[in-house]
Amino acid sequence: MVHYVELPGDRRYPVVIESLAALPAWLERVGLRHGRLLLVTDENIARLHLEPLRAALEAAGWTPRVLVLPPGEPTKALPYLERIYDEALRWGIDRRTPVLAFGGGVIGDLAGFAAATLLRGLPLVQVPTTLIAQVDSAIGGKTGINHARGKNLIGAFHQPVLVFADPSLLQTLPVREWTSGLAEVVKHALIGDPALFALLEERWADVMQRDAALLPELISQAVAVKIRVVMQDEREAGLRAILNFGHTFGHAIERVAGYGHFTHGEAVALGMLAALWLSHRRHPDLPVDRIRTLLQRLPVPGSPDTLDFEALREAMQVDKKALAGRLRFVLLRRVGEAYVADDVTEAELRDAWQFVLESHRATVTS
């Protein structure tokens, strides 16, 4: 399966859903010449999948320089960005040297930002290995690192020349990482595809079991939502903001709990519950029970009860999605249609957070 992202200025790149063995042929197809290639990955992916990829690249005439970094959100920070800079410059890259990000969202964002800034821009190839990266973060050109003040506050838009997603790589994901990625699939269904929402409702057991026959179609449908939004709003000037459904609360939850306490997907799942309450308050016809039931199927270990609401509210104020001090929330008019609201009151925020806590308790006790 192949989708294409088409952008202004005759820019175009493929999103390929295929076996990793086909990657070298696709590198050539997008115009990358054989030669040096900077491959950035993490220790977990290196242990599981690096050698077959390295062998395939070398057999196709590439000379990969591999940089293996620690896994996890703390790696998405300035010290590790500097490690990539040091390795690349020591090796003697030039502006034709591709950067291949082989990993999940952390590696994709970090290596992508390195590609955006080294020599004022290197070709970027995204080879995402997690569900959340395959359907969301690897597509659309958003790259960056975290700062002590919040997530993704330092970054750049830098579109890849190729996104290559192999569904079989997802079979080795830990269960928690798999369900974290499903939160983004659910998000895409809610903001842009009622048919995907119905598929998730009807085939949830198969989805949780990572049915090999279902995965390519699941990924393809979720990818199509992301691509459709990116093509209409590359730089997040308007429509693309709907991809942040659940993220205003979600990023605040991650920050207040401490990065790594909840996965990104778990935090977004909680954030989507808050956004659901705010949406239903404005649109009473929204099928809140169906949506809540689907969101409650996403397991969130731990207890959000311990998070202080005032700390969450303060964290939301410094979120990059805030505009002139006003919080912006992505809300639903109906399944498949989302919009941005900036009229949410503090009282509504408190009530939405109570809805999150009640929904989570109901999941834990059921």
Q: Residue ranges for the binding site?
A: 105-109, 129-130, 142, 151, 184, 247, 264
When pLDDT is averaged across residues 30-36 and rounded to a whole number, the result is 93
Structure tokens at 119: 């020599």
Give the confidence band of 259 by pLDDT, cuts at 50, 70, 90.
Answer: confident
Give the C-alpha separation, 4 to 79, whole Å: 34
Tell me the HSE value of 250 on the side-chain side, using a 13 A CA sphere. 26
If you write DSSP's letter for every residue of 184-223 in order, what string do you get? HHHHHHHHH-HHHHHHHHHTHHHHHTT-TTTHHHHHHHHH
360 is catalytic: no
Give the confidence band of 152 by pLDDT, cuts at 50, 70, 90.
Answer: confident
pTM of the model: 0.90
Candidates 188, 240, 255, 360; catalytic one:
240
142 is catalytic: yes
Give the confidence band of 240 by pLDDT, cuts at 50, 70, 90.
Answer: confident
18 is catalytic: no
Give the confidence band of 318 by pLDDT, cuts at 50, 70, 90.
Answer: confident
If you write DSSP's letter for every residue of 49-75 in order, what string do you get? IIHHHHHHHHHTT-EEEEEEE--SGGG
Structure tokens at 329: 């929330």
Residue 199 confidence (pLDDT): 98
247 is catalytic: yes
Residue 241 confidence (pLDDT): 87
Q: Residue ranges for the binding site for NAD(+)?
A: 105-109, 129-130, 142, 151
> Average pLDDT, whole number, for the chain?
94
244 is catalytic: yes
Structure tokens at 32: 């990358």
Residue 154 confidence (pLDDT): 96
Sign of the torsion formed by the C-alpha atoms of 16, 18, 21 and 25: negative
Structure tokens at 296: 């409650």
Residue 362 confidence (pLDDT): 87
Candidates 244, 255, 292, 360; catalytic one:
244
Sorted by where each starts, the structural domains of the chain and their CATH numbers stand as 2-172 (3.40.50.1970), 175-365 (1.20.1090.10)
Candidates 76, 158, 187, 226; catalytic one:
226
Reported as a single tens digit per residue, the pLDDT across 154-195 is: 999 999 999 999 999 999 999 999 999 999 999 999 999 999
240 is catalytic: yes
Candidates 49, 188, 264, 292; catalytic one:
264
Other CB atoms within a 10 A radius of the CB of residue 308 amount to 9
Give the confidence band of 364 by pLDDT, cuts at 50, 70, 90.
Answer: low
264 is catalytic: yes
184 is catalytic: yes
3 is catalytic: no
73 is catalytic: no
Give the C-alpha separation, 82 to 66, whole Å: 15
Q: Residue ranges for the binding site for Zn(2+)?
A: 184, 247, 264
Residue 366 confidence (pLDDT): 54
Residue 365 confidence (pLDDT): 55
